[in-house]
Chain A
Amino acid sequence: MREILKLYGRRYRWLIVALFALLAVTAGTMVSNEVESYHEAKANMVSKKTYAKDQAKDLAKNKGKVYKEVSYAQFVQDTLNVYQDELPKGDHTPMMPPSVGNLGVNTLYLLAAFGFGLALAGWDHFGKFDRFVLGTRFDRRKLYWGKVGLGAAAVLGSVIVGQAIMMGSLYANIPAQYINVTGLAIFGLLLYDAVAALMAYVIATVLAMFAGRLWQVGVVSVILLWSQTATFCNLQGLYAQLVDHVNYNSFGGALATPGRLYWPTLIAMALLAVGLALVGAWGFNHLSLEHDAAVLVRPLQVLFSTLAVLYGFGFGISWSRYGYFEFANSLGTPLVVLALCLLWWFWPKLAQWRRARVQKLA
């Protein structure tokens, strides 16, 4: 395994450096924007006197009505707090700060991890490096886990570094009293970002490793990136409805703001990452390279088709006007995907049959 890691480490070193650099720079940029906002807000802060005058005016305006007085100290605190409460009440979780945007779940991490996986696996596959390693003395399973594991470690490391830079820089530049996030929330955010990034990395790696053509990788990647928000939202909504009996209209979750579905979403992402990685290991062990450039790379056609149909189902989930799951109306998209997958499966067999028929006639 040491030699395998050396081999892949040599090959991927600049990709890994680029990933770390990208996430570090991204984190640094986010923090510097936040620090700038903090200083701007502080500079533009109304004075205590002005605040008292404004509050007196509001009080007079709302005489007789319910009006919550907010002290100047609280006002300053609320204004300068780094993490603003942007979520509906039901969508809070102690595992994450109640914010959206880059200080919350960073979708850039997912994008970077996805791109990293595509680059890593795609470069080996389409650059013929897989051909080389498969012909060497290394056991296929060790090759696979060496490659995927090294990349996963890089993704994990870069997320940790990114988060560390972010939190470290926040604490270095903004007084701690205004960084209103618990240790649990920091940990929860890191865990969520890491698992989501690993999931994105594994999906991209398996896609690029087994797709027969570069255009397939491109098309599937675009479809996944375009549809992933809606799909996650739908699946989370379905889960919430089945388990918590919450209708979709009152459900506010999403991939970046899972709220009460933090743990189910995290577990689902982890299971998907592990499951796909195991599927990839099996596929790599059974990969015979005469199929390498075929549009559909065996031996994972059935599995990929199943995943595609399930994903299509997730994307195409239909909700009634009142926010309830409509099974019949949700079948359209998965059926279309199933039809495409069957065509995909039978196309080479059709071509074979046509060839045989032409030979027979000749």
Chain B
Amino acid sequence: MKLTVEHLTKRIVGRPVLQDVGFEWRPGEIIGLVGENGAGKTTLMRTLVNQYLPDGGTVAVDGRNLAQAPGQRVNLIYIDPSQVFFAGNTLAASVADYALAYPDFDRQRFFAAAADYDLAPGQRFRELSKGYQAVVVVLLSLCSNAPFVMLDEPFDGLDLFIREAIVSLVVDAVADGKRGLLIASHNLQELDGIADRILFLKRHTISHDYRLEDVREKAVKLQLVFKTPELPALIRENGRILNVQGRVVTVLFADYTDALDRQLRDLAPVYMEQRPLDLTDLFRSEFDHTEGGLEHA
């Protein structure tokens, strides 16, 4: 099964929010959707599930355009945590509604999992704390058994234990390879630990689609100090400056080859050390308009 998004475009109040967005998504993958505030992450999710009608482009499951075959939307689920209809409902009533919309909804699994968090079927959603509300949203999404699950900021404002609980649910969900998750989040640390791919949403489109395993194989983050205050041109040509503190510069090289390594060593830096690379570094390299906090003239 494959979900394909092609040339997806969406304008809101005359302004482009999504332009020519395209990607493929298969079950078994956890994709992190990363972008600055207002980049269009939530808009993308709402457009994928037809709450927003796209101005162009297609969303298809196994080649079937969802606009012509709405029944295929049973394969997607997106619960917008800021726009839930079931705030006043009991968990049991909410499950009943979702079970009608998603015929494969696993009620037993939901209530069993909810019981693990001491959540009773008769409890009302709005009576729960923010953390447990987030858990319920994730449980409803996962128990729908839709192969493509979208979560919008599932870690937002949650304590460590609830975050770990959600991470555990998410990882278990994709373990059998039947489900894929698209997680929009600013919590890059959590995403780093679980995502297989990262989609960067920048300037209304997917600017980069990184497979983190590939990135970690090819990219390197170095801390460098040079004799001269001026940075060699080689650094700017091949890398992205993440941080400058005095003479110490932290640079991300997306494609660190042996040849590049030799060239750098030929520059005889005073200090050169490889640092662990994480998603924050990728985010900074993608979105930071300055070079490590300094405006580049």
Chain B 49-82 residues near chain A, CB threshold 8 A: 49-53, 70-74, 78, 80
A212 vs B108: C-alpha distance when bound (angstroms): 38
User: Known: A128-B85, A137-B70, A286-B53. Contact between A10 and B13, CB under 8 A?
Assistant: no
Which residue of the partner chain B has the closest CB to A349?
B14
Q: Determine chain A's interface SS by DSSP, over half rule.
A: helix
Which residue of the partner chain B has the closest CB to A7?
B100
Contact B70 A139 (CB under 8 A): yes
Which residue of the partner chain A has the closest CB to B88?
A127
- Checking B14, B70, B101 against A7 with a beta-carbon cut-off of 8 angstroms, the contacting residue is B101
Which residues of B lie under 8 Å from residue A133 when comparing CB positions? 101
Q: A7, A128, A135, A140 — which one has the most chain B CB atoms within 10 A of its CB? A: A135
Contact B101 A136 (CB under 8 A): yes
Q: How far is the CB of A338 from chain B (nearest CB, A)?
A: 25
Please count how many residues in chain B sit with their CB below 8 Å of the partner chain's CB atoms.
Answer: 26
Chain A 6-44 residues near chain B, CB threshold 8 A: 6-7, 10-11
User: Known: A139-B70, A289-B52, A290-B52. Contact between A131 and B101, CB under 8 A?
Assistant: no
Contact B73 A137 (CB under 8 A): yes
Which residues of B lie under 8 Å from residue A134 when comparing CB positions? 49-51
Which residue of the partner chain B has the closest CB to A3?
B100
Which residues of A lie under 8 Å from residue B70 when comparing CB positions? 137-140
A139 vs B71: C-alpha distance when bound (angstroms): 7
Chain A 117-161 residues near chain B, CB threshold 8 A: 127-129, 131-140
B228 at the interface (CB under 8 A from A): no
**Chain A positions 188 through 201: 1 when the CB is less than 8 Å from some CB of chain B, otherwise 0:** 00000000000000
Which residues of A lie under 8 Å from residue B13 when comparing CB positions? 290, 348, 352
Q: B43, B80, B84, B100 — which one has the most chain A CB atoms within 10 A of its CB? A: B100
B259 at the interface (CB under 8 A from A): no
A289 vs B83: C-alpha distance when bound (angstroms): 11
Which residue of the partner chain A has the closest CB to B12?
A290
User: Known: A138-B70, A139-B70. Contact between A128 and B83, CB under 8 A?
Assistant: yes
Which residue of the partner chain B has the closest CB to A135?
B49
Which residues of B lie under 8 Å from residue A129 when comparing CB positions? 85
Which residues of B lie under 8 Å from residue A140 when comparing CB positions? 70
Q: How far is the CB of B11 from chain A (nearest CB, A)?
A: 9
Contact B52 A288 (CB under 8 A): yes
Which residue of the partner chain B has the closest CB to A126?
B85
A312 vs B87: C-alpha distance when bound (angstroms): 40
Q: How far is the CB of A292 from chain B (nearest CB, A)?
A: 9
B163 at the interface (CB under 8 A from A): no
B96 at the interface (CB under 8 A from A): yes
Q: How far is the CB of B73 from chain A (nearest CB, A)?
A: 4
Which residue of the partner chain A has the closest CB to B72?
A137
Which residues of B lie under 8 Å from residue A11 when comparing CB positions? 97
Contact B73 A136 (CB under 8 A): yes
Q: How far is the CB of B81 from chain A (nearest CB, A)?
A: 11
A134 vs B85: C-alpha distance when bound (angstroms): 12
Which residue of the partner chain B has the closest CB to A290?
B12
Which residue of the partner chain B has the closest CB to A299?
B53
Which residues of A lie under 8 Å from residue B103 when comparing CB positions? 3
Which residues of B lie under 8 Å from residue A131 when comparing CB positions? 51, 80, 83, 85
Contact A6 B100 (CB under 8 A): yes
Contact B100 A352 (CB under 8 A): no
Contact B85 A137 (CB under 8 A): no
Which residue of the partner chain B has the closest CB to A140?
B70
Contact A137 B46 (CB under 8 A): no
- Checking A6, A135, A352 against B14 with a beta-carbon cut-off of 8 angstroms, the contacting residue is A352
A166 vs B101: C-alpha distance when bound (angstroms): 41
Which residue of the partner chain B has the closest CB to A136?
B101
A138 vs B49: C-alpha distance when bound (angstroms): 11
A139 vs B74: C-alpha distance when bound (angstroms): 11
Chain B 25-58 residues near chain A, CB threshold 8 A: 43, 46, 49-53
Chain A 170-212 residues near chain B, CB threshold 8 A: none
Which residues of A lie under 8 Å from residue B43 when comparing CB positions? 290
Q: How far is the CB of A261 from chain B (nearest CB, A)?
A: 43
Which residues of A lie under 8 Å from residue B84 when comparing CB positions? 128
Q: A127, A132, A289 — which one has the most chain B CB atoms within 10 A of its CB? A: A132
Q: How far is the CB of B173 from chain A (nearest CB, A)?
A: 19
Contact A138 B101 (CB under 8 A): yes
Q: How far is the CB of B44 from chain A (nearest CB, A)?
A: 12
A10 vs B90: C-alpha distance when bound (angstroms): 14
Which residues of A lie under 8 Å from residue B52 when comparing CB positions? 288-290
Which residue of the partner chain B has the closest CB to A4?
B100
Q: How far is the CB of B121 from chain A (nearest CB, A)?
A: 16
Which residue of the partner chain A has the closest CB to B10?
A290
**Chain A positions 282 through 299: 1 when the CB is less than 8 Å from some CB of chain B, otherwise 0:** 000011111000000000
List of 6 A-B pairs having minimum Cβ-Cβ separation, nearest first? A135-B49, A288-B53, A137-B74, A136-B101, A128-B85, A129-B85
A-B contact pairs, 24 of them (CB 8 A): A3-B101, A7-B100, A127-B85, A128-B85, A131-B80, A131-B83, A131-B85, A132-B85, A132-B97, A134-B50, A135-B73, A135-B78, A136-B73, A136-B102, A137-B70, A137-B71, A137-B72, A137-B73, A139-B71, A286-B53, A289-B51, A289-B52, A290-B46, A290-B52
For the complex with contacts A3-B100, A288-B52, 20 further pairs of A-B residues with Cβ separation under 8 Å are A3-B103, A7-B101, A10-B96, A10-B97, A127-B85, A128-B83, A128-B84, A129-B85, A131-B51, A132-B101, A134-B49, A135-B49, A136-B73, A136-B74, A137-B72, A137-B74, A140-B70, A289-B51, A290-B46, A352-B14
